[in-house]
Structure 1
Amino acid sequence: MAQPQERTPHRATAESLLPLLGGAGNITSVAHCMTRLRLGLVDRSLVQDEALKGLPAVMGVVEDDTYQVVLGPGTVGRVTPEFERLLEEERSAEPAAAPTADGLAAQGAALKAERKRRNATPVKLFLRRIANIFVPLIPALIGCGIVAGLAGLLTNLGWVPAVVPALAAIASGFMSLIAVFVGINTAKEFGGTPVLGGAVAAIIVYAGVAQVSVFGQKLAPGQGGVLGALGAALLAVQVEKWCRRWVPEALDVLVTPTVTVLVSGLATLFGLMFLAGEVSTAIGEFANWLLATGGAFAGFVLGGLFLPLVMLGLHQALIPIHTTLIQQQGYTVLLPILAMAGAGQVGAAIAIYFRLRRNTSLRKTIKSALPAGFLGVGEPLIYSVSLPLGRPFVTACVGGAFGGGFVGLLNQLGSAVGSTAYGPSGWALFPLLKGTSDLGTTIAVYAAGLLAGYIAGFLLTYFFGFSKQMRADLNTPSKDTATATKAVDPTAAQETEAARAPAGDDARQPAAV
C-alpha cells in the first residue's frame, strides 16, 4: 500500500486545483513555465474558472493552446510535481475506464481542435513554433551570461587570475555552438530528425568553411549565425520528409540521412550562409542605427508597445532578433528597453494600491504580486490587476514608454545598455547587463530607467487611471474587483478575454515583464 502523501502547502494547492479543473480524468497533459501551470484538457466546460480565480494561490488564468493557471515564479515549480503526483494517485485509485471514456476524450479533443482553429492565425502559430525553438535555450543563455558578467567584473577590477580564462571559456562555449542547438530544436519542432538538423547547422560553425568561396568571397565560420542554422535545419526537414516518401524502406536508413545532409549542406554552404549573414548583419546595423538616431523616441515607442505585443503573442518575433544580436555583439540592446514595460506596470500597481485604499481584496492581490513584478514577472499584475481595470493598463504602458525613452536617450548619448541573455527582466536583469560604458555606468543607466518607469507609471495611473465613477465603484471593501470592473467598464471583461486568448509564454521569451 502506498504511503500517504505529506500535505505541504504546495500539496494543498494541488488538491484545491484538481477538482476545479474537472478531476484527474479531465487532464491530458501537465507542464509548467516560469509562472504558469499548463494543462491539456479533455473537456473545457468542466473547468470552474471563477472558483479557480478565487483560490489564494491563483493569480489568474490564461487560455491559449493549453489551459494555463498563473501561480507565480517559484510556486509553480513546486506545485507542478505535487499536482502530477496527485494525478497519478487519483488515476491509480480509479476503477477501469467506462466504455464511454474514449468517446468523451474524442469529444474533448474535437472541441479543443475547433477552439484552436478559430482562435489561432497562421502568423501567430508560426511565431509560436519559432519561440519553441529558442525558448529552451534561455537557461543556458542566462547561466553563461552571468558567468560572462562575472569574468568581466573580475577583469575590470584588475584581478585576472587563472580562473578568469576558465570563466571565459565556460561562458563562450555554448555561444560558439548555439547554431547547433538551434538546428536540433528546429528539426524537432518541424517534424524532422533532431540530429540531422544539428548536423546541417554544425556546418555553419565548422572552422573549415573558411576554405569555401561563395560569390568570390571566402566564408567565415559562424557566418549567418542562428538565422542560417534555422534556415538550414528547415531545409533539412523538408529534404528528409521528401526522402521518407520516395526512398524504399530497405534503403531508407542509408539513403535518407545521406541525401538530407548532402543536399541541405550544399545549399547551406553555397547560399544560406551568405544570405543569412547579410540579414544578420542588417539586423545588427538597424538596431544600432535605430537607437543611435532615434534615441528617446525609439525607446519610448518600444517601451510603450511591448506589453500589447505580449498580450497579442507577437513578442515572439523578437526572440531570433535578440539571439542574433547576442551572437553578434555579445548583448542585445533591445531587451533593457523592452524591460521598462514591466517598470511601468509595477508603478501602476503601486498607484492602484494607494488609490483604492478600501478595496482590501485588490490591495492583497497587489501585495502578493509586486515582488514578482519587481523581478520582471508581470503577468500576475497584468491579468489580476491592470488589464481587468482597463485604464490602468494603458497608463502602465505609457509609464513603460517613459522608462524606455530614458534608456534610449542615454543610448543615443553613447551609453548603450544591453543584456547578455533574453528572458529575465526587472531587477533580475542586473547580473546580465553589459554595454559600451563601464559596468557601473551601465548599471546606473538601467536602474535610472527602471526608476523613471516606476515613477511615470505611478503618477499617470494615480492621476489619470480612474474616472470618478470608477473610483466610487472600485474603492469599496464589499465589492468583488471583477464585478466592479464589469459595472464600471462593460467592455473591460471582453477586452481581457480577447487579450488572454493569444497570450504567449512568459518567460519565457521575454514575455515575463
Structure 2
Amino acid sequence: MTPDKHRATAAAILPLVGGPDNIGSVAHCMTRLRLGLHDRSLVDEAALRAVPGVLGVVEDDATCQIVLGPGAVARVTPAFEALVTEGRTAPPTDPAPAEGRTAASAEPPGVTADELAARGAALRQARKARNATPFKLFLRRIANVFVPLIPALIGCGIIAGLGGLLANLGWVPALVPALAAIGSGFMSLIAVFVGHNTAKEFGGTPVLGGAVAAVVVFPGVAKVEAFGQHLSPGQGGVLGALAAALLAVRVERWCRRRVPQALDVLLTPTLTVLVPGLVTLYGLMTVAGALSTGIGTFADRLLATGGAVAGLVLGGLFLPLVMLGLHQALIPIHTTLIQQSGYTVLLPILAMAGAGQVGAALAVYCRLPHNPSLRATIRSALPAGLLGVGEPLIYGVSLPLGRPFVTACVGGAAGGAFVGLFNQLGVAFGSTAIGPSGWALFPLLKGTSGMAATVAVYAGGLAVGYLTGFAATYFFGFTRRMLTELNAAPAPATPPTTPDQPTEAPALA
C-alpha cells in the first residue's frame, strides 16, 4: 500500500473503534494494531472486517486487536496515531458505513460468510468468558511483556542468519564480525528490555525495572558468589529478568505507600533497585538459571527421543491452546530457547498448525462451490494464512463450522509429526525469532544440518500439513446436513409480473 492507502485504512478504522476520544493506547506487533479502548461497546466489528486491508479482528480483555498483516501494520499504525492526535479536539462523527454494505442488501438463502462471522464472534465472546481467569489474565500480561520485542528479535535473527550464511560460504569475511555484532547485540541485553517492559506492564517505573534486570547481564556478576559458586553473566536469562522486575514492582509499590513524600524521590528508587538486586544476585539468578537450563534440556530430549510423537501432539494441540489462551505461556519459553541456543526448536513444529488450517480452508472452498460469500472470505484470507496470520481463517471459517477446525488440527498434527521425526533423526533446527509463521518463517530458520536440509524439512512439513488438512476436511469435515445447509445456491431473482407478462409454469423434473 502507498502512504495514502495507509492513511485511508487508518481513517476508515478510527470511527469504527469509537473515534479519537475512545483511544486509550496505540501499539502494534508483527501483524496486529493493538488498541486500548475506553469503551469497547463502541467498536463495530462487522464494519471493521469490511474495511479494505483489515484481515480480521481479535478482541480480548486487554485490547482490541485489528489484524493488518506483516509490513502493513507498521505503516498503518503511525498514520492511525497521527489521526488520533489530530482528532482529539475535533467534534465526534458517526462511523461511516462499511463500503459496499447497504441496509437493504439481501442475503442469499443458506449460511453465508456474514453468518459464520457472527458465529465466530459468539465463539470469541464465549472464549473471552472462559479465559477471564486470574491465571490466563496473568499469562496475557506476560505475553504483553514480550510482544513489543518481536520486531527486534526478527530483525536481529535475520541479520545473524545472514552473517552465518556468509561465514559458511566464505563470502565477504570482513563483514561477518560486523553482522554478528549487530545480530547479537540485542540478545545480549534482552534482559534489560524484558525488565523495562515488565515494570511498565505491571504498573511500576519502567526504567527501574530495566535497572534491576540489568544486573542479570552485567559482566561484574562473575565476581559474586552464591550457593558456593560464582555467577555467570546472563545466568537466568529472561526468566530471571522477568522475576527481578516483578519483584521490583512490588517493592516500589510498597515504598510509594510507606515512604514519606519528602524522602520518596531518594528512598523509593534506591530501595526498588537495591532490594530486588540483592535478591536477584543471591537467589533468582541461580533458580532461574536452573529453570532455563531445564527447559532447554527438556526440549532437546523431547524431540531427540520422541520427535514424531512430540511433534504430532504439539502440532495438533496448538490451535486448541490458542483458543484457551494457554499459548501465551510459550512466549517466555521460546525466548529462553533462543537466548540459550540461538533458536527455538518448538516454533517450526507449532507453525504446522497454521498449515493444517490453510489446507482445511482450501477443502472448504472446494466442497462449497455454491456459497460465494464464504468462498470470497477464504480467497481474501488465504494469502495471510500462508504467511502465518491465521485469525481470519480460524474465526471466519473453520471454528464457526466446527468440524473443519478439528480436521485442521489433524493437518497440524501430521505436519508436526513430520518435522518432529526429522528432529529425532538428527536434522535439528528452529527459528531465530518468534512471531512469524508459515512461509514468513523461512528467513529465520537455523539448524545443525545446514540450510538446505533445514529448509527442505520445514517445507516438507508445510506440504504435509496442507495436504493432510485438505484431505481430512474434504472427506470428514462435513455431514450431509452441513453440506445441504452451507451449499445452498442463491435463488435466482424473479422479475415482477404484470397482467401482460404471465409467469411460466415450472418445468417438471
Q: 1:73 to 1:384 in 2, by over 3 A?
A: farther
Instruction: List runs of 5+ in structure 2 lacking aligned partners.
Output: 94-126, 492-509
User: Which amino acid in structure 1 is aligned with residue 241 of structure 2?
Assistant: A
Is the 1:28–1:41 contact (alpha carbons within 8 Å) kept by the matching residues of 2? Answer: yes
Displacement of 1:250 in angstroms is 2.1
AA matched with 1:62: V
1:308 maps onto 2:320 in alignment: yes
* 1:37, distance to aligned residue in structure 2 (A): 4.1
- Aligned ranges 1:230-379 → 2 under 5 Å: 230-379=242-391
Q: Superposition pairs for residues 425-464 of structure 1, below 5 Å?
A: 425-464=437-476
Q: 1:411 maps to which residue?
A: 423
Q: What is the RMSD of the two structures over their aligned residues, measured on CA atoms?
A: 2.7
Taking the aligned partners of 2:186 and 2:16, their CA distance within structure 1 comes to: 43
Matching residue's letter, 1:291: L
Query: Distance between the aligned counterparts of 2:423 and 2:65, measured in 1?
Result: 37
**In the superposition, relative to structure 1, how do residues 29 and 344 fare at CA in structure 2: closer, same or farther (>3 Å)?**
same
Residue 494 of structure 1: aligned partner: none
| Contact in 2 for aligned 1:361/1:477 (Cα 8 Å) | no
Q: 1:475 is matched with which residue: 483, 487, 509?
A: 487
Identity of aligned residues (%): 76
Q: Deviations over 1:78-133 (max 9, x none)?
A: 5555555555666544289xxxxxxxxxxxxxxxxxx9999621011111111111
Kindly state the Cα deviation for residue 180 of structure 1 after the two structures are TM-superposed: 1.2
Match of 2:171 in 1: 159
Which residue does 1:100 correspond to in 2? Answer: none
After TM superposition, give the deviation of residue 154 of structure 1 in Å: 0.9
Structure 2 length normalisation: TM-score?
0.83
Counterpart pick for 1:67 among 64, 69, 74: 64
2:91 pairs with one of 82, 91, 94: 94
CA contact (8 A) 2:29 2:150 kept: no
Distance change (3 Å), C-alpha of 1:379 and 1:226: same
Q: 1:237 and 1:39, CA in 2 relative to 1: closer, same or farther beyond 3 A?
A: closer
Does the CA-based 8 Å contact 1:59-1:384 persist in structure 2?
no
The 8 Å contact of residues 210 and 220 in structure 1, kept in 2 or not, is answered as yes
Residues 18, 24 of structure 1: 8 Å contact kept: yes
Matched, 1:149 2:161: yes
Structure 1 Cα separation of the partners of residues 454 and 306 of structure 2: 19
Contact 1:407 1:417 in 2 (8 A): no
Q: Paired residue for 1:511?
A: none
CA drift at 1:359: 1.6
Return the letter of the residue paired with 2:464: A
Q: Once the 2 structures are TM-superposed, how far is the Cα of residue 322 of structure 1 from its aligned partner?
A: 0.6
Equivalent residues of 2:316, 2:353 under 8 A apart: yes
**Partner of residue 216, structure 2:** 204
* Amino acid in the other structure paired with 1:400: G
Contact 2:29 2:148 in 1 (8 A): no
1:179 and 1:318 map into 2 onto residues whose CA distance is 17
Shift of 1:9: 4.8
Once the two structures are superposed, residues 330-362 of structure 1 have per-residue CA deviations (whole angstroms, 9 ceiling, x without a partner) of 111000100111111111111112221222222
User: 1:190 corresponds to which letter in structure 2?
Assistant: F
Alignment partners' CA distance in 1, 2:139 and 2:92: 42
Q: Which moved more, 1:138-147 or 1:57-66?
A: 57-66
Q: Which amino acid aligns with 1:67?
A: C
Q: Secondary structure of 1:310's match?
A: helix
For 1:181 and 1:7, how far apart are their aligned partners in 2?
31
Equivalent in the alignment of 1:393? 405
After superposition, what is the alpha-carbon deviation per residue over 1:55-98, rounded to whole angstroms, capped at 9, x for unaligned?
555444333123344444444445555555555666544289xx
- What is residue 436 of structure 2 aligned with on the other side? 424
Give ranges in structure 1 of 5+ residues lacking alignment.
1-5, 97-114, 480-513
Q: What is aligned with 1:486?
A: none
Other structure's SS at 1:418 match: strand
Residue 127 of structure 1 aligns with which residue? 139
Corresponding position of 1:220: 232
Residues 417 and 446 in structure 1, CA contact (< 8 A), matched pair in contact too: no
Partner of 1:507: none
In the comparison of the two structures, how many residue pairs are matched?
456
Residue identity in the other structure for 2:435: G
Distance 1:7 1:78 in 2: 8
Aligned equivalent of 2:506: none
CA distance in 2, matches of 1:265, 1:44: 40
Contact 2:30-2:151 within 8 A present in 1 as well: no
Q: TM-score, normalised by structure 1?
A: 0.82
Q: SS of the residue aligned with 1:415?
A: coil
Matched residue type, 1:61 = V
Q: What CA distance in whole angstroms lies between the structure 2 residues aligned with 1:242 and 1:292?
A: 47
What whole-Å deviation, never above 9, does each CA across 1:280-308 have from its counterpart, x for those lacking one?
Answer: 11111111111111211110010011111
In the alignment, the residues of structure 2 paired with residue 457 and residue 433 of structure 1 have an alpha-carbon distance, to the nearest angstrom, of 23
